[in-house]
Each structure stands twice: as structure tokens, then as C-alpha cells.
Amino acid sequence: MTQGSETTGFSIGQVERMTGVKAYILRYWEEQIPLIRPRKDSLGKRFYSTRDVSILFRLKHLIYEKKFTAKGAGEQLLRELAGISSIPAVSSIQEIRSELMRLYGIVSSVSGDIVGEPSTPGELAEDLGGTDEIQR
């Protein structure tokens, strides 16, 4: 089973490293935000889709940067997702981000962490002068 592949998804440990959010907080957010629903295998291990990871990055931004409560951030995410289909640029960015997340999973499963390289997609985006969050 390839870690972070499109068929298996990302483990909670991988998501923790990518987002910088502790696993217990990720599990709490799952309880509070119905949009986050990782698939579980027969042993109960969580596997997050690229969509879940994108939502978690946005949720992290809303909670840590914009100071939303978990409930308020969930409501904001619902409002944003309801209007996303009408904004083609946001849709394109999400497609690119999903592809980058898929590639990140492949590279991280093959090479592991390389010393001196960014360890998360967010750090990579910062190094490139961008942002890891979708801004309106």
C-alpha cells in the first residue's frame, strides 16, 4: 500500500506533518465539522482524501489566523463551498492544489524528508512566495 496515494489517502500522521496540526486536534475537528470525513480501514485507521486535507488547511487558517471558533469556521467553510462553483479561478486553484497534494504524497512516500527541504506543502508555498491558503 503506497502512503499518500490516491487510492489510500493520507494517514493522520502524514496530515499532522503536512498541516502542522496535532492529531488529537484533527480528530476533534472531525467531530465538530461534518465536512471532514476521513475514510477508515478495517482497523479504524483514518485516511484523508486530498479534499479533506484542503479543507483542513482552510480550517487551520480560519481558526488560527482569523480567530474563528471551530463551529464558526465550519459555518464559514459551508458558505465558501456553497459559492465555490461560481468562481472559476478558485476551482482552478483547488484542482492544482489537489494535484500538488497527490504529487507530494508520492514524493514523500518514495524519498522521505530531505534535509533542508520544506516539509509541508504550506512551507513549500511560503518558500515560493505564495500562500498555502486560498484568499478572497
- The residue with greater pLDDT, 36 or 123, is 36
Which domains can be identified in the chain, with CATH numbers?
A: 10-123 (1.10.1660.10)
The 3-state DSSP class for residue 35 equals: coil
Q: What is the pLDDT of residue 2?
A: 44
Average pLDDT over residues 7-36: 92
For a pLDDT cut of 90, what percent of the chain falls above it? 43
> In whole angstroms, how large is the CA radius of gyration of the chain?
15
DSSP tag of 115:
T
Is pLDDT above 80 for 51? yes
- Nearest partner of 135 among 47, 51, 66, 72, judged by Cα: 66
- pLDDT band, residue 95 (cuts 50/70/90): confident
Residue 60 has pLDDT above 80, yes or no: yes
Mean pLDDT on 33-50: 91
